[in-house]
Amino acid sequence: MRYTQFTPYDIVLLAQGLGVTIALFLGTSLIGLLIGTLWGVVRFYRVPVLTEVMTFIAELLKNSPVLVQLFLVFFGFPAFFRINVTPTEAAVITLSANTAAFVYVIAVAAIQSIGREQIEAARVFGLTRWQVLRHVIATQATAFAIGPLIALLVNQLQVTSLISVIGVVDLTKIGNILNLRTLQPFIVWTVVGALYYLAAKLLAFFGTRLENRLRAHTAWRGL
């Protein structure tokens, strides 16, 4: 058997890579969703200083390449803060922060999409800001945000491939390894691409189902 030939074990390698990619994607998406939503709530409360600081950070994260952010965390943290980060830690920090910034933008838009007059009505009847957020805004804002959020997450899934550059052994990194060994780029990258495609399609499928369920109330779709 020549060293350059494919072996059955390559399938295991690919599965491991896919596992790392999906695990990182799910983890960072969850953290990003939590932090981004929290930022949106802070902005809803118009917390002074904090709101401005967060808007500034979100702007930085949105308007610079993820790869640059990744390098800044991976090489910058040890250099400037004397904190050593493993490739996986750098990946988690960068991807979570990046997702959070975009979730924040979507959350702000979703909250703003709720008519001011409804919020005023609720306030007049004595509901606190928190009660308004929970009962009047949350449901409607979620229905508004779900479409853009799914689009964002599908995109962030592809973005995870960048972390292979700093040495995280994700699906792309496995692809790279197999490619160097077999020298069959067309086959390797087609398989890797197909796996990303399937993962993204699966994500979009469940996202759309969730969206349809949230919008089942055609009665108030006219928002």
Partner 1 sequence: MLNVENVKKAFGGVTVLDGVNLVVTPGEVVSILGSSGSGKSTLIRCINGLEKLDGGRITVDDFDVSKPKELAEARKRSGTVFQLFNLYPHMTALQNITLAPIEVLKKPKAEAEKKARDLLASVGLSDRADAYPAQLSGGQRQRVGICRALAMEPRYLLLDEVTSALDPEMTADVLAILAKLAGEGTTMVFVTHEIEFARQISDRIVFLDKGVLLVDLPTEEFFSANGGMAQPRIAQFLSKMRKD
Whichever of 8 and 222 has its CB closer to partner 1, that residue is 222
Using a 10 angstrom Cβ sphere, with 0-12 exposed, 13-18 middle and 19 or more buried, the burial of residue 143 is: buried
- Other C-beta atoms closer than 10 Å to the C-beta of 156 total 20
Count residues contacting partner 1 (CB under 8 A)? 23
Candidates 64-72, 123-131, 151-159, 200-208; binding stretch for partner 1 (CB under 8 A): 123-131
Site membership for partner 1, residue 118 (CB under 8 A): yes
Mask for 78-117, x = binds partner 1 (CB under 8 A): -------------------------------------x-x
Q: Considering the complex, what minimum distance in angstroms separates the CB of residue 139 from partner 1?
A: 5
Site membership for partner 1, residue 220 (CB under 8 A): yes
Q: Which CB contacts under 8 angstroms, 24+ apart, belong to 113-120? A: 113/140, 113/141, 113/144, 113/223, 114/140, 114/141, 114/144
Site membership for partner 1, residue 124 (CB under 8 A): yes
Whichever of 133 and 168 has its CB closer to partner 1, that residue is 133
Q: What is the DSSP string of 86-145?
A: -HHHHHHHHHHHHHHHHHHHHHHHHHHTS-HHHHHHHHHTT--HHHIIIIIIHHHHHHHH
Site membership for partner 1, residue 52 (CB under 8 A): no
Whichever of 48 and 126 has its CB closer to partner 1, that residue is 126
User: Rule CB under 8 A: which residues touch partner 1?
Assistant: 115, 117-118, 120-127, 131, 135-136, 139-140, 143, 217, 219-223
